[in-house]
Amino acid sequence: MTLDANYLRGTMAAVLSILQHSTCPENMEFHFLWSRFEREVFSSIKSTFPYLNFKFYRFDSNRVRGKISKSIRQALDQPLNYARIYLADIIPSDVKRVIYLDSDLVVVDDIAKLWEVDLEEKVLAAPEYCHANFTNYFSNLFWLDPVLAKTFHGRRPCYFNTGVMVVDVEKWRQGGITQKVEEWMTVQKQKRIYHLGSLPPFLLVLAGNIKGVDHRWNQHGLGGDNMEGKCRSLHPGPISLLHWSGKGKPWLRLDSRKPCIVDHLWAPYDLYRSSMHALEE
């Protein structure tokens, strides 16, 4: 997971939810990527989860500063949002597999079940959404360019959300995935082929070539769209992970006393709110 002061409240809720639903929390190891050392963030994690097995790594935001193109939402343009691209370079070589998670989610199942997914020689596993209109993730400029439009030739690309991914770190390194993603970011700077932050270059490199996992592991979009963040209801079916991707974050909506119904599913894991209530009583 990435870690910074703006999303610390979400990160702490996510960590708590993972530990609470794990059969063997003592087997859990967390790797946190940060771009700026903030002492209070570090001490908050350490004091809240004194027995947590975790490590911190610095992500040098200069690696992406010249490569980021303006997207439709300012939060998506933060350098730390791109840290997932560099995971394989940052974490130690003895780590063979990781689950990457965003900070705006809670896990309501044993995450070991996701960890044990058979990657079937793929670099990455994630829930795929093949009903989504894939063409919408790229601009007309992309689809009208005969060379660029051939990118997905021979693949059956589906949308996947990069906020929940199981990654074979060794295969990522061997396949030079970081460099391939960076190459697409360079194209984007020249031609403006997409509008959404760090997601589209992942799709360009990997869509149609990942291991699909059950949708229960990413009930995403609970934060609404990227512009207005309107309330959304849950999709039918079993749920193992709730993800407030989109503009609306549950802690902000709860604080404003204008929460969506789904935000009440996040509230039980909110360590800040419960400590605030304790002070009020």
Q: What are phi and psi of 125, to 5 degrees?
A: -125, 140
What's this model's pTM, rounded to 2 decimal places? 0.93
Spell out, as residue ranges, where the chain has pLDDT lower than 70: 72-73, 75-76, 274-281
107 Cβ contact list (under 8 Å, min separation 6): 14, 17, 18, 21, 101, 240, 241
Bridge pairing between strands 105-107 and 241-243 = antiparallel
Q: Which of 281, 208, 269, 198 is nearest to 16 (CA)?
A: 269
pLDDT score for 46: 94
Bridge pairing between strands 159-160 and 97-101 = unpaired
* Fold designation for 5-280: Spore Coat Polysaccharide Biosynthesis Protein SpsA; Chain A (3.90.550)
- Domain boundaries in the chain? 5-280
pLDDT, one tens digit per residue, over 42-98 is 999 999 999 999 999 999 999 988 888 777 667 667 889 999 999 999 999 999 999
SS (H, E, C) 37-86: CCHHHHHHHHHHCCCCCEEEEECCCHHHHCCCCCCCCHHHHCHHHHHHHH
